[in-house]
Amino acid sequence: ATCDLHGAELEVVAAKNPGCVHLVGTVMEETQRTFRLLTPRDEVKVLPKDNCIFEAHVLGERVRLFGPAWSSRLPKGAPGPGRLEAWAL
């Protein structure tokens, strides 16, 4: 299964850069390592996935997206190597 986040509203709930926390915006573009968000003030922010934990509303529920896991996704949801990694901010 794949997940297209274009048009989804994301909020940064944790980040290495404290200035990014509580930033909210609509996903304009997703690259391998970043999300490009349009904020309510019509500013474009580029956020590195490796440094942030995001939340999104999906079917009335808040879903937490761990940025480091999203930056290392393989195309079309292909399973990666059987190696477990601990992600820390």
pLDDT single digits (tens) 45-66: 999 988 899 998 888 888 898 8
Question: Token match 């274009």: residue?
Answer: 6
Q: CB–CB of 12/54 below 8 Å?
A: yes
Record the pTM.
Answer: 0.73
pLDDT single digits (tens) 24-47: 999 999 888 889 999 999 999 999
Determine the residue type at 3.
C
Q: Pick from 40, 48, 5, 6: which is nearest to 23 by CA?
A: 40
Query: Quick check: helix, strand or coil at residue 68?
Result: helix
Determine the residue type at 7.
G
Q: How far apart are CA 34 and CA 47, in angstroms?
A: 5
